[in-house]
Amino acid sequence: MAASGRSSQKASSTFEVVSKSVEETQRLGEQLGACLAAGDVVGLTGELGSGKTTFIQGLAKGLGIEPGLVRSPTFILMREYPGRVPLIHVDGYRLDDAASVSWLDVDWVFSPKKVTVIEWADRCQDALPEAYLELRFQHVSTNQRRLRASGHGPRSNELVSMLSHTIHDSRSTNPEPHESPRH
């Protein structure tokens, strides 16, 4: 999924799920991470504390990266982690718009040899490639988060479908316990 500026293309495939715990949010991330391939771009949005970094820790695990290494790169903007496919983790919280990310090497950030995940992707929407997977996080309650996946482009639509099937299958065989820690 090469970078080519903001897309006017509408999301054509969506999936929604409610996570009931930190562990479930990490499991969802891990399931997506196992499906990701070099060149995939994932943009995460949602308010503070909605589970974005927790999800990325699980996603890293799915890529063969130790989840405990993953921290939000808020003050340095970006981190890279080696794994089955290298992971570029960008935190757009301090970015205002595409102009504020212009100093980043966009060809490197959106490398076809790496997976790129951007927290606060809505703050740098114009810098996103046309094809990417959009994940929106929303507080439902103290322990619950709603996650909505939207595909932008054929590969991202495929990821939405894969994630939907994987989650459905795992929930059928591993129901979540009732009590859960906060995100």
Question: What would the pLDDT profile of 143-182 be if each residue is shown by its tens digit?
Answer: 899 999 999 999 999 999 988 888 766 655 555 544 344 4
Please say whether the beta carbons of 144 and 18 come within 8 A: yes
Question: Tokens for 177?
Answer: 């316990």
Count up the domains in the chain and report the number: 1
The overall pTM is greater than 0.95: no
Determine the residue type at 119.
E
Find residue 134's DSSP bridge partners. 43, 150
1 inside domain:
no
Distance of alpha carbon 41 from the chain centroid = 8
Kindly give the residue spans of alpha helices, DSSP state H, lying in 6-113. 22-35, 52-62, 106-109
CATH number of the domain at 25, please: 3.40.50.300
Question: Tokens for 15?
Answer: 């999936």
8 inside domain:
no
Instruction: Give the whole-angstrom CA distance, residue 183 versus residue 180.
Output: 9
109 inside domain:
yes
pLDDT of residue 50: 87
User: What is the full per-residue pLDDT of the chain (183 aa) written as tens digits?
Assistant: 444 444 444 546 899 999 999 999 999 999 999 999 999 999 999 988 888 999 999 999 999 999 888 887 666 788 899 999 999 998 877 776 566 666 666 767 788 999 999 998 888 787 888 899 999 999 998 889 999 999 999 999 999 998 888 876 665 555 554 434 444
Please say whether the beta carbons of 79 and 50 come within 8 A: no
